[in-house]
Amino acid sequence: MNPFDVALFAAAIRLSVPLLLAALGELISERGGVINIGLEGMMLFGAYGAFITAWATGSVSLGLAAGITLGLLTASIMALVSVTLRGDQIVVGVALNLLAAGVTMFLYRLQFQGTQPTTVRMEPYAVPLLSDIPGIGPVLFDQLPLVYFAYVLGPVVAYMLFRTRGGLRVRSAGEKPEVLDSTGVNVVRVQWSGVLAAGGLAGLAGAFLSVGQVGLFAENMTAGRGFLALAAVVFGQWRPYGVVAACLVFGFTDALQLRLQSMGEVPREVWISLVVVGVLVAAAGVWRARRSGSPLRWMLLGAMLCVVAGGLGTALLPSFVLPSQFWLSLPYVLSLIALATSARGVRAPAMVGRPLPSRG
């Protein structure tokens, strides 16, 4: 049975959307020099705020707005403590994750006493004409409205970062804040806006999880997606389109994982595609090594492993079962490998994790 059908790709896209929203916001924040370990917490707050508002008002859009608002509020705490008061970014992020887990659990249990009510949720919107295209139509254009928003967000963020004055300022704040300072721009304000962008989008991502997809809330329903979004920024090497690609890859592995779990075995098609991926990775590696002189060894080794595993799987083990945990950890493994093998030019923005210097 071939697992690669329309439903799989549709699911991959749906699963990548919350990652895209959160990761693109986090990209802005990190480009501005603030790493936001609290992304998970911001998403959770967003999910809760959206749910509770939609539950009280019966309105999806009010729910989404509430999700964004809660994300922004959480981000304000992050910015206040880590940017204005120059506290440790990492530690504040850890605190926000605890805060979100604690507060949402407390309030949810207080209000619903162990029951799990459902509420309204967003309806898919089939784009006229486009959704009728055979093949990709239903995959791409019969989705929740937020999905379309996520499509355009990547180019928008790329444009903002590289083609607007505000984007230049954000990038400058993350690389060399004293330059901004010397031109009279308030660096603290620039970093605040980066963190707020991350918070608002993370809140929206959380809202997508609760009100967008299922119309209910569950304790810790973000289930590590905030960390996944963090990994996507790393895997995407701090570039907008890289982050989009990373989110798509992560969404796809998640969808495939869910599908394979329901199938109980790994069909031959998966093994074959593994070979294809290996070949593609090797080709990309050679191409990249030619251009920028990045180390080739590791990439080739990975590609060879893919090809060998895929070949063996195709020939010998058509029904071998891979545990779901393998797929769930794959994004993090990929991110680490990407970091460890990347060329020297690719690194986190210089100010990530460091407080702003005070002005002499």
Partner 1 sequence: MNRQALRGAAVSVLAVVLALAASLLVIALTGAPIGKAAAAMWDGVFGSPAQFGATLTKFVPLVLAAIGWVVASRAGRLNVGLEGQILAGGTTAAVVGLYLTGLPTVLHLTIAVLAGAVGGALLGGVAAWLWARRGVNDFIATLLLTLIMTQVVSWLANGPMEEPTGTLGQSSPVADTARWPVLLPRTTLRTDIIMVIIIVLLAAYVLRRTVVGYRLRLTGANADAARATGTRTTVVGVGALCASAAIAGIAGSSLVLAAPAANLAPGFSAGYGFDGIVVALLARNSPLACIPAALLLAALRQGGGLLEARVGISSGLVTATQAVVILLVTGTAWYAERRRSRPRPPGTSDVPAPVAEGVRS
Partner 2 sequence: MTVSADTPGDVPADGAAAAALSVRGVTKTYGALVANDAVDLDVRPGEILALLGENGAGKSTLVKVLSGLVNPDAGAVVVDGRTLPPGDPEAARAAGVGVVHQHFMLVPDMTATENVALSQGSRAGRRFDAAGTRARLLELSERHSMPVRPDVPVELLPVGERQRIEILKCLLGDARVLLLDEPSAVLSPVEWDRLAVVLEELASQGLAIVLITHKLGEIAAVADRCTVMRGGKVVATVRVGDTAPEELARMMVGRDVVLRTERPVVAAGPVVLEATGLTMAGYRGDRDLGPVDLTVRAGEVLGVAGVEGNGQSELADLLAGVRTPTTGSVRVTARGGGPGRTGVIAEDRQADGLALPLSVSDNLMMRVVGDEEFSRRGVLRQGRIRRHCTERVESFGVRTAGLETPVESLSGGNQQKIVLARELYGDPDLLIAAQPTRGLDVGAIEFVHAQINAHKTAGGATVLFSAELDEIFALSDRIAVMSGGRIVAVLTADEATRDRVGELMTAVNGAREQVRP
Where along the sequence are the contacts to partner 1 (CB under 8 A)?
A: 35, 37, 77, 80-82, 85-88, 90-92, 94-99, 101-107, 109-110, 113, 224, 227, 230-231, 234, 323, 325-326, 328-329, 332-333, 335-336, 339-341, 344, 347-348, 352-353
Query: Are 47 and 64 a contacting pair, CB within 8 Å?
Result: no
Q: Per this entry, what is the length of the chain?
A: 360
CA distance 275 to 296: 19
Largest CA distance in the chain: 68
Q: Nearer to partner 1 by C-beta: 148 or 332? A: 332
Of the candidates 102, 1, 130, the one whose C-alpha atom is nearest the C-alpha of residue 45 is 102
Q: Nearer to partner 1 by C-beta: 61 or 324? A: 324
Nearest distance in Å: CB 277, partner 2: 31
Q: Residues 168, 277, 301, 312: which binds partner 2 (CB under 8 A)?
A: 168
Q: How far is CA 118 from CA 56, 217, 248, 335, in A?
A: 11, 8, 29, 36
For residue 4, report the phi and psi dihedrals to the nearest 5 degrees. Answer: -85, 75
Nearest distance in Å: CB 292, partner 1: 16
Which residues in the 172-191 window bind partner 2 by CB under 8 A? 172, 175-176, 178-185
Q: Nearer to partner 2 by C-beta: 187 or 211? A: 187
Instruction: Report what 184 binds from partner 2, partner 1, none; CB cut-off 5-8 Å by kind.
Output: partner 2
Tell me: does residue 156 bind partner 2 (CB under 8 A).
no
Q: Nearer to partner 1 by C-beta: 95 or 247? A: 95
**Tokens read off for 76:** 């304000």
Tell me: does residue 344 bind partner 2 (CB under 8 A).
no
Query: Are 101 and 43 a contacting pair, CB within 8 Å?
Result: no
**Tokens read off for 353:** 């994790």
Nearest distance in Å: CB 163, partner 2: 6
Place of tokens 């996520």: 150
Nearest distance in Å: CB 336, partner 1: 5
Instruction: Report what 183 binds from partner 1, partner 2, none; CB cut-off 5-8 Å by kind.
Output: partner 2
For residue 39, report the phi and psi dihedrals to the nearest 5 degrees. Answer: -55, -45
Identify which range of 141-149, 164-172, 211-219, 227-235 contacts partner 2 by CB under 8 A: 164-172
Of the candidates 133, 183, 167, 140, the one whose C-alpha atom is nearest the C-alpha of residue 16 is 140
Q: Nearer to partner 1 by C-beta: 129 or 340? A: 340
Nearest distance in Å: CB 199, partner 1: 15
CA distance 240 to 246: 10
